[in-house]
Amino acid sequence: QGAQGRCRRQGMSALVLMAQIAGRRCAMAAEDVRSVIDLGVIAPVPRAPAFIAGITALRSQTLTVIDCRLALGLEAASLYPTDTRAAVVATGGHSYALMVDAIEDIATSLGEPGHIPGGFGAEWQRAATGMIETGIGPALLLDLPPLIAGPLAGARTNRAAA
């Protein structure tokens, strides 16, 4: 199920939105992406976890803005500037704007997702379902619910499994 299942069901022709997060090329299943927007004003949310940058509005709808670097458990400061655009996704009945370093393009996956090679780290293992090959190069296929849940959700899952 999820992004990996959709790419597997659609086989060779699954469309994905290509983005960069902390210098890594990532992909989101295009059917999960409602739109790409220019982020305007982001209002902070008191007492929200650090990975929630705040809220913003899209056509009178409130979107929770997720800083993908922080949601992965990576450092906020980066060599890579954050794009002024965000991918709008919906999961669990809520809409989110995902802040990434760059939104690249729409691409076609060239086969089924494979395993994530070593060296990417636990944060990527938690938030990606596999590695896919596309016409513009390899990418980590993001699993949106664990990404949106943030780094603490991964820590709770790891403690529960131990």
Nearest to 80 by CA among 23, 37, 131: 23
pLDDT-based confidence at 130, cuts 50/70/90?
very high
Task: Answer yes or no: are the C-beta atoms of 17 and 83 closer than 8 Å.
Answer: no
Query: Which SS3 state, helix, strand or coil, does residue 119 take?
Result: coil
Sheet with 102-108: strands ordered across:
102-108, 15-21, 24-29, 137-142, 128-134
Region 77-90: mean pLDDT is 82
Confidence class of residue 136 from pLDDT cuts 50, 70 and 90? very high
- What is the model's pLDDT at position 156? 47
Query: How much of the chain, in percent, has pLDDT values that exceed 70?
Result: 83
Q: Which residue has the higher pLDDT, 82 or 144?
A: 144
Average pLDDT over residues 1-24: 72
Section 43-54 average pLDDT? 96
DSSP for residue 144 = H
Alpha helices, DSSP H, located in the chain: 2-10, 68-72, 122-127, 144-149, 151-161
Q: What is the reported pTM?
A: 0.85
